[in-house]
């Protein structure tokens, strides 16, 4: 299996697991919390079928990657991404981030040169800034995140069960309507195997302010978000991200939960493939 070493912790390497398939224009898919690159199952097949080279990887602490006890901040996570695309020598590649993965997309484009990046996509993304502050009244109270941290510490497996019920809006979409019990269980299995420390540390990482990063984005950008998202409500996230990214396009998935990669895969894939087929780069944002 392919791995890239991105650091060390004491006597061991910190290795990221990645998959690199197909040919054509590269697309890098960055997964959400607390899942892995396997969560892109329905998108990988569509992208490969459309003639793209598709790269997925597991964030440190998740999936088949190493499970270090450090590095769960967006500067480090974006650096991990940079090391991967550099190792693969990717050019004219699109960055696609889901949920927490949207943070890597934002921080990468805010911190690194973008001449090799062709496009950016934010799906059910955490951006622009989740925490409610005096200059961000649309955000979420800190107490909500503190409650999540307490629940993870108290009983992480039980927390994950409730989390995925809301992730997929199982009460409405479950029972094989748009998400099967088995697909929900698969997500739980992946999440349960993640680093307990990494799972917990990422919660505070969600409070990162990406507004300046978004303002620096100088590539065509697509935002896709469900209007029934219970994890990252669209009013605080998806509808606000285009306010900071000049010229970006927002697509609202009607009835879409947080986990639209699975429940509304046909809609997501159609929008993704249509967007990736557009080639122009817009002028640099000051």
pLDDT at residue 82 tops 60 = yes
Each residue of 187-202: pLDDT tens digit?
Answer: 999 999 999 999 999 9
Which residues are known catalytic residues?
99, 229, 258
Of residues 149, 64, 122, 55, the one with CA closest to residue 275: 122
Q: What is the mean pLDDT of the chain?
A: 95
Each residue of 244-257: pLDDT tens digit?
Answer: 999 999 999 999 99
Rounded mean pLDDT, 234-240 = 97
Bridge-based pairing state of the strands 221-226 and 249-253: parallel
pLDDT at residue 22 tops 70 = yes
pLDDT for res 13: 98
What is the CA 102 to chain-centroid distance, rounded?
4
221-226, strands of its sheet edge to edge = 3-9, 12-21, 53-57, 26-30, 93-98, 117-123, 221-226, 249-253
Each residue of 124-180: pLDDT tens digit?
Answer: 999 999 999 999 999 999 999 999 999 999 999 999 999 999 999 999 999 888 999
Of residues 281, 235, 254, the one with CA closest to residue 128: 235
Query: Which CATH class, in words, describes the domain spanning 3-276?
Result: alpha beta
Rounded mean pLDDT, 40-54 = 97
Read off the pTM.
0.96
Domain ranges of the chain: 3-276
For residues 256 and 225, give the distance between their C-alpha atoms in angstroms, rounded to a whole number. 7
Q: What is the DSSP letter of 59?
A: P
pLDDT for res 176: 82
**What percent of the chain stands above pLDDT 90?**
95
């Amino acid at each position: 299996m392919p791995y890239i070493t991105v650091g060390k912790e004491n006597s061991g390497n910190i290795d990221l697991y990645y998959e690199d398939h197909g040919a054509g224009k590269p697309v890098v898919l960055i997964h959400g919390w607390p899942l892995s690159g396997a969560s892109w199952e329905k998108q990988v097949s569509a992208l490969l079928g459309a003639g793209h080279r598709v790269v997925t990887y597991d964030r440190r602490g998740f999936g088949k990657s190493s499970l270090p006890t450090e590095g769960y901040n967006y500067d480090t996570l974006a650096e991990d991404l940079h090391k991967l695309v550099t190792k693969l020598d990717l050019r004219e590649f699109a960055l696609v981030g889901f949920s927490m993965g949207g943070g890597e997309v934002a921080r990468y484009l805010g911190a690194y040169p973008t001449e090799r990046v062709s496009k950016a996509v934010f799906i059910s993304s955490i951006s622009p800034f989740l925490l409610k502050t005096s200059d961000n009244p649309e955000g979420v109270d800190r107490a909500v995140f503190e409650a999540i941290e307490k629940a993870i510490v108290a009983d992480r497996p039980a927390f994950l069960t409730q989390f995925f019920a809301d992730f997929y809006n199982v009460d409405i979409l479950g029972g094989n309507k748009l998400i099967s019990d088995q697909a929900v269980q698969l997500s739980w299995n992946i999440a349960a195997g993640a680093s307990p420390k990494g799972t917990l540390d990422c919660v505070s990482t969600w409070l990162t302010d990406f507004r300046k990063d978004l303002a620096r984005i100088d590539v065509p950008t697509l935002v896709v978000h469900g209007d029934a998202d219970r994890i990252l409500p669209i009013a605080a996230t998806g509808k606000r991200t285009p306010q900071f990214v000049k010229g970006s396009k927002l697509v609202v998935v009607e009835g879409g939960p947080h986990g639209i990669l699975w429940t509304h895969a046909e809609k997501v894939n159609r929008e993704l493939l249509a967007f990736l087929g557009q080639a122009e780069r817009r002028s640099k944002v000051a």
